[in-house]
Amino acid sequence: MDGSAQRLKASDFDDITKEILTTAITIFQCLVVTRINVRLTPGLMKMILKRTSHVCNELKTKMRSLTGSFFGFRANDSREVIRHNRDRAESLKEGLLFAYKDWESKQGIYKTDLLQMGVNHMWFANRNNEGIVYHQYFNPLPVETMALLLASIECCIDEWGTGIKEDVKFSAANYASVYNTHLDSLQRFEEHTAPYKLLEKIRVNLHDAARFHAGVDFLLASSTGSCVTEEAFDDALLEYEQEMQDEEEEQDERDGTEAQGDM
């Protein structure tokens, strides 16, 4: 090195170092979405998003397609459709209705299927995804991850705020406060329902359902095979004893027949 500033590239490292760096980056990305347990200022959010911008972009891209179809937003220039999209976006954001399982009757807070769909697609798409490989960070699904998902869903809804879909950047300036609001609401919900552990149950269900979506539990069950019971072993012994008895009787019959023939 001549002391001049240089930007390191992946090609600067050997294969082993590349593999280590890839693993380290993946773990860091998992920590970012599961262990952000501090309130984020725009500056801190900007630093985190800068380091893991492609993770947030991936999350936003996945949630955009899921959110649009889930809530029935439609791309159409007619006044009726534009009005429908605008009214739907406004109503969903009012009182955090989009976080309910049934937003029309306002039932099932934090049980919306959209959260589960987001978890499945982002971290549990298959048995090689981060949620399975680094399961210790996702079991149960962290409150911070739920807050990040809710913030991304709100960003996707905001894209339909005018009735016509517009790109809204999932940036620190726009969504640090939104993330903090969701995190605060989740924590207050957890405290308010502490005797029943409602949020913990939701988080466990989100993780368990995601594992099932990834096919891990099915694969584990298939790989272990069915257990043979002691009764089956006892039956095998009885069958063997019966076979031996039948063979002895057959042999006695043959011996008797031969003896009569010699007479």
Q: Is the pLDDT of residue 38 over 50?
A: no
Q: How far is CA 208 from the centre of its chain?
A: 8
Span of 51-65, 224-238, 244-258 with lowest mean pLDDT:
224-238
Report how far residue 68's alpha carbon sits from residue 82's, in angstroms, rounded to the nearest whole number: 14
For the entire predicted model, the pTM comes to 0.70
CA distances from residue 109 to 106, 178, 219 in whole angstroms, order as listed: 8, 18, 32
What pLDDT score was predicted for residue 252?
A: 74
Phi-psi domain of 231 (left: phi exceeds 0; alpha: psi -120 through 50; beta: other):
alpha
Span 149-171, mean pLDDT?
Answer: 94
Which of helix, strand or coil describes residue 167?
coil
Q: Convert 192-217 to b/e letters by CB count within 10 Å (16 or more is b).
A: eeeeeebbeebbeebbebbbebbebe
Mean pLDDT score across all residues of the chain: 80
**Cis upstream peptide for 140 (omega within 30°):** yes
Tell me what pLDDT residue 171 has.
75
- What average pLDDT does the segment 64-83 reach? 95
pLDDT greater at residue 19 or residue 65: 65
User: Average pLDDT of 19-43?
Assistant: 52
Tokens describing residue 206: 């989100």
Per-residue pLDDT at 211 exceeds 70? yes
Q: What percent of the chain has pLDDT over 90?
A: 49
CA distance 40 to 135: 25
State the pLDDT at residue 39.
53
| Structure confidence at residue 243 (pLDDT) | 80
Q: Per-residue confidence at 244, pLDDT binned at 50, 70, 90?
A: confident
Segment 32-57 shows an average pLDDT of 59
Residue 105 has pLDDT above 80, yes or no: yes
